[in-house]
Amino acid sequence: MNDRVSINECFARDGLQHESAFVPTAKKLAVLASFTGAGFRRIEATSYSHPKQVPAFTDASELLSALPRREGISFKATCPNQKAVQRALADAEAGYGADEISLLTSASNSHSQVNLRASRLEQWQKVEEMAAIAAGNFTLVGVVSVAFGCPFEGAIDPQIVIDDVARFRDLGAGYVTIGDTTGLADPAAAKRLFAELVPAFPELTIVAHFHDTRGLGIANIMAAYEAGCRSFDSAMGGVGGHPNMIHYGSGSTGNVATEDTVNLFDSLGVDTGLDLDAVMEASAECESILGRTLLSKTARAGLANTILREADVA
């Protein structure tokens, strides 16, 4: 198992949207600099969500204007509606826009109503308009939330997800993210879905985005990897989930911890392109800016291969 994978760092967006206290822009910039230094090539930076709905990102434009840009690194901003894309375009015209923008959909109508304040039909109409407004100025990232199950409607027909991926492809997306939004996936379901999606859409990068709500996040990542997926979202410390002011699902809905994801692939000998020491330093910085111990097991115990190497030397 030596295929290279891409681990896309989501702490600064999907992670921070769940925090009740606003994280100052300077602290966000410091941690984003630590991510670039560790070698992450795709990084979620912020969201153009309405400030009253998601106060964590009231500084979106200010943050983007001061980002530590490096060649080969793409920063992504989430755009839930047309006005958000217009804001993204204004920042791009000012010279400091995001490289990628995420366009959001849900695989269930109920989750779409709660999370996006629109039915699936209405949201897809918005997404089509957003893609037209973006007009080739960004790499488009389609997002299909609750792809494995909805806390309101239960099981999701995989064909809905497959059809949604096709719609994003037809709109010109370069990536499509498959979201297990409240941690309802299991390894068998993950393997089945990604085994269908990856070969069906060779022109797209299919991204696995699992949450660790029920402790199956790492197992699901492994299953998706075995099915051919090579791009994964995760967040330092396992933070994140739905926006702080929106409530659905149960338990801790946080992302799979980046540290644990890195440890998995490092243990398997799979190249992530990351500086492992710098990843652990970034992990510590994330804990520092949030002022608490986060949920990564690897942050507490250390990378397995590092421990084994040190034991061999001793």
Q: How confident is the model at residue 309 (pLDDT cuts 50, 70, 90)?
A: confident
Q: Is the pLDDT of residue 2 over 70?
A: no
Q: Which domain covers residue 213, as residue numbers?
A: 6-313
Q: Is residue 129 part of a domain?
A: yes
User: Per the domain annotation, does 166 fall within a domain?
Assistant: yes
* pLDDT at residue 52, rounded to an integer: 86
How would DSSP label each residue in 7-49? EEE-IIIIIGGG-SSPPPHHHHHHHHHHHHHHT-SEEEEEE--
Q: What's the whole-number mean pLDDT along residues 135-153?
A: 96
- Dist. CA 30–CA 35, nearest whole Å: 9
Is residue 78, in this structure, part of any structural domain at all? yes
Half-sphere exposure for 83 (CA within 13 Å, toward CB): 4
Mean pLDDT of 222-228: 98
Using CB atoms within 10 Å of the CB of residue 65, give its burial: 0 to 12 exposed, 13 to 18 middle, 19+ buried. Answer: middle
Q: Is residue 224 part of a domain?
A: yes
Half-sphere exposure of 61 (CA within 13 A, CB side): 14
pLDDT over 70 percentage in the chain: 95
The pLDDT of residue 135: 87
Model pLDDT for residues 80-96, shown as the tens digit of each residue: 999 999 999 999 999 99
Into how many domains does the chain fold?
Answer: 1
| Average pLDDT, rounded, for the chain | 94
The CATH number linked to 268 is 3.20.20.70
Whether residue 1 lies inside any domain: the answer is no
The per-residue pLDDT for 18 is 82
Domain membership flag for residue 25: yes
Residues 6+ apart with CB under 8 A from 239: 11, 15, 16, 18, 19, 254, 255, 286, 290, 294, 295
Residue 278 within a domain: yes
Q: In the predicted model, is pLDDT for residue 248 greater than 80? A: no
Answer yes or no: is 234 within a domain.
yes
Report whether pLDDT(280) > 80.
Answer: yes
DSSP letter at 256 equals P
